Amino acid sequence: MDIVIIGLPQSGKTTLFTALTLGKSDASGASGSPTEMHLGAVKVPDQRLDHLGVIYHPRKIVPAEVRYTDLPGPEGMARSQGISGRYRNALQSATAFVIVVRAFHSDAVPHPSGTVDPARDLEAMLGELSFADLEVLERASTRLAEQFNKTKPADRPAMARQKETVDKARAGLENGIPVRRQTFTDSERAILLNYQLLSDKNVIAVFNTDEGADDIRIADLDLDAELTAGVGEVSISARIEAELAMMDAEEADEFRADFGLGEPATSQVIRASYDTLGLVSFLTVGDDEVRAWSVPGGMPAVNAAGVIHTDFTRGFIRAEVIAYDDFHACGSMAQGRKEGLLRSEGKTYPVQDGDIINFLVNT
């Protein structure tokens, strides 16, 4: 899962990135440059893997992974360059966006707009994503119209459908509805995939609050419900979390306990990301490797097999499945089979969170 962190200047993007990646990252670009891009990867915490590791003693345990990109803010660039300029490729390849929304107060770090207003800033960032898409779709519609008469008559119906789809998405955006909230047929969705629209991505809003402040909820903000529908939310103090990220784990845990802090920012943001994207983790086990794989919940087993290796989709025979809780209760695959908890499933079986799966394939 690739998540790009975006936000307005002085929102605390890089501070949050430090908190999420535990201060470990690689830089892309000139050192010290305001256009430097930072990359970091985080293992998804999963206690189920620890238990399975004790049972199987594998050579390696491989958690699922989230890759974060801290995209430079517009302070070092022209307006909207972080959305539609040289960094657009990073945005287009993202699985989702984390929008850092400033909710903290600091005389030392004044807000560029003069006041702290989370509703205003979140609306502005969501609007920027839609505005960037409008520019893309307007250019596409004009280009398709110009090409129509130059196209062979036999190819014109397909081009007309393409333009109708582009204009439909553009009209929705003009009415304040992001692409992810618009309704399209499968064929229309296939057309729009070619444009890699930003407002079609899932979004998690991270409200960067003062230490000890109450959580902020999108539902309590005076925002268009259509614009924010489906947007995930987390409230944390990025500054405190970044400081804790630089401590060793035992020291950080003691600090959290002493001051009554909740779970780490990494866990909160990952959980919100999984919930917002509708992801689950299925598990594979063996003497060589115990591993977690992240897929959309309900993905057919044949497609889940293809996540491991594309050849598994073509050679799929069946999936042997046992729920993690059932495996934990009975203690082994053999006992699970004896108790009827280990079952055979076909191609269309919808994968559930915590399924331990052994795929049988023709290779």
Looking up residue 318, the CATH number of its domain turns out to be 3.10.20.30
Q: Percent of the chain having pLDDT more than 90? A: 67
Region 180-195: what's the mean pLDDT? Answer: 94
What does the mean pLDDT of the chain come to? Answer: 89
pTM of the model: 0.85
CATH number of the domain at 76, please: 3.40.50.300
Region 111-119: what's the mean pLDDT? Answer: 92
Is the distance from CB of 16 to CB of 242 less than 8 angstroms? Answer: yes
Res. 81: pLDDT tops 60:
no
Please say which residue of 277, 309, 343 terminates a domain: 277
Question: Is 119 within a domain?
Answer: no
Other Cβ atoms within 10 Å of 356 Cβ, number: 22
HSE-CB at 299 with a 13 A cutoff on CA atoms is: 21
Q: Give the pLDDT confidence of 147-170 residue by residue, as tens digits.
A: 888 888 888 899 999 999 999 999
Same domain flag for 132 and 178: yes
Question: Is 53 within a domain?
Answer: no
Question: Is 304 within a domain?
Answer: yes
Same domain flag for 231 and 254: yes
Q: Give the pLDDT confidence of 255-312 residue by residue, as tens digits.
A: 888 877 888 888 899 999 999 999 999 999 999 999 999 999 999 999 999 999 999 9
Same domain flag for 186 and 264: no
Residue 144 backbone dihedrals phi, psi, to 5 degrees: -65, -40
Please say which residue of 178, 199, 220 terminates a domain: 199
Please give the Cα distance from 47 to 138 (Å, whole number): 48
Res. 53: pLDDT tops 50:
yes
Same domain flag for 301 and 311: yes
Please say which residue of 175, 199, 223 terminates a domain: 199
- pLDDT value of position 281: 95
Question: Is 240 within a domain?
Answer: yes
Question: Is 285 within a domain?
Answer: no
Same domain flag for 336 and 215: no
- pLDDT value of position 28: 52
Is the distance from CB of 17 to CB of 265 less than 8 angstroms? Answer: no
What's the number of domains the chain is made of?
A: 3
- pLDDT value of position 336: 94
Same domain flag for 224 and 108: yes
6: enclosing H helix or E strand: strand 2-7
Same domain flag for 153 and 22: no
Give residue for tokens 């107060």.
105
Res. 349: pLDDT tops 60:
yes
Question: Is 253 within a domain?
Answer: yes
Residue 39 backbone dihedrals phi, psi, to 5 degrees: -125, 140
- pLDDT value of position 308: 94
What is the torsional sign of CA 241, 242, 243, 249? positive
Same domain flag for 224 and 205: yes
Containing domain of residue 301, as a range?
297-361
CATH number of the domain at 154, please: 1.10.150.300
**In terms of Cα–Cα distance, which of 176, 153, 154, 282 is closest to 229?**
176
Same domain flag for 143 and 27: no
Same domain flag for 80 and 21: yes
Same domain flag for 218 and 324: no
Question: Is 263 within a domain?
Answer: yes
Question: Is 49 within a domain?
Answer: no
Q: Percent of the chain having pLDDT more than 70? A: 93
Same domain flag for 232 and 109: yes
